[in-house]
Amino acid sequence: MADSMATQTALRIVPLKPGSGFGAEIIGLDIATADDATLDEVVDAFNRHGALLLRGQKLDPADLMRFIRRVGTPEGHTIQDFTLPGFEEIYVLSNRIENGRPIGAHNDGVGWHTDYSYKEEPVMSTMLYAVEVPAEGSDTLIADGVAAYEALPAERREALEKLRLHHSYRHFMETREHQRRELTPEQIRDNPDVDHPLIRVHPKDGRRALWPSTGTVTEISGQDDPRDLSILDELVEFMTGEEFVYRHKWQVGDLLMWDNRCTLHTGTLFDDKKYIRTMHRLWVKGDRPY
C-alpha cells in the first residue's frame, strides 16, 4: 500500500458498453494512491452508471478495504471457509490448491443472479479484483435491469409491479449445482426466508429495475400459482439479451464492481485443469428492497 496519496482530479471516464448509459471505465487512476475526494468521485460515477471498471491496479488487501469503505460498509460472508486471514470481508475465489487444500471457492457464481438476494438487506455492491486470470474463459457478464425494465411495454411493467419473490437461502444452498451443502441449524436460523419485489426501486434516484434473481426463489406471490416460476425464466432470458449485457474479459489487476440493486450477473466456466483463476471478492452492505 502506498505511503502517500496523490490528489487526482477530472476523472477520465469512457463507456463500458458504447451506445448505452450502463457501465463506465475510469482510465488512468491508481486506486492505491488516490485521495479520499477522488475516491468519492469514483463512487459517484459508480452510482450513476451501475457498473465500474478500473484496469491495471496493484492493490493489496488494505488498499481494497480502504476503497470499499468509501463505497459503503463492508459486508461479511455467510460462509467463512475462504476469507483472507486478517481481512474477513475479503473472500477468495480460486481453483488453486496449496498444501493439498483449495485456497478459495471454485465455480462460485455461475448462473444469473444477484448476490445475497436471500437476505432481508441484500448486498448493495459486489467488487472483484483479479489476481490470477485464465488465458481464456472465466468472463463475467452483467445485465442492466433498468434498461430491460424500460424496454417492456407499460402494461407489462404495471403487472410485474404486483409480484413479490420468496427467497430461501436453504433452498439455494441445498439445490445449487456447485458446492451444494446441508446447512447447520445456526445457518438456517441466521438466514430466514424473505420476500422481495420483482421490480426494485433504486434508492439514489428512483430508477426502476427488473430484479428476477433465480436460484433462491421458491414462490412468487401476486399470481394464480405461487409455485409457478416460469415467469422468472422468461424475464431472465429477456434481461440477459445481448442489448442489455456487458461481457467482461479479465486481465490481471482489473477491479470491477457492479450495483446489485439494478443488475444480474453471472460468471462463466474455464478449463480449470489448464488454468488458474484467483479473484478477491468484496461486498458492500445494502438496504431492504422496495
164: part of which helix (H) or strand (E)? strand 164-167
Q: Give the span between the Cα atoms of 9 and 37, in whole angstroms.
A: 9
Quick: pLDDT tens for 180-215.
Answer: 778 889 988 989 999 999 999 999 999 999 999 888
Burial class (CB in 10 A: 0-12, 13-18, 19+), 18: exposed
Inter-residue contact 133 to 277 (CB < 8 Å): yes
β-strands 51-54, 24-27: how paired?
parallel
CATH number, domain 144-239: 3.60.130.10
Q: Within 13 Å and on the Cβ side, how many CA atoms surround 179? A: 13
Domain boundaries, the chain: 12-108+122-133+248-262+271-284, 144-239
Burial class (CB in 10 A: 0-12, 13-18, 19+), 152: middle
Sequential pLDDT tens for the chain (290 residues): 443 333 445 799 999 998 888 999 999 999 999 999 999 999 999 999 999 999 999 999 999 999 999 999 999 987 788 999 999 999 999 999 999 999 999 988 889 999 999 999 999 999 999 999 999 999 999 999 999 999 999 999 999 999 999 999 999 888 876 667 788 899 889 899 999 999 999 999 999 999 998 889 999 999 999 999 999 999 999 999 999 999 999 999 999 999 999 999 999 999 999 999 999 999 999 999 99
CATH architecture assignment, domain 12-108+122-133+248-262+271-284: 4-Layer Sandwich (3.60)
Q: Does 144-239 match 12-108+122-133+248-262+271-284 at the fold level?
A: yes
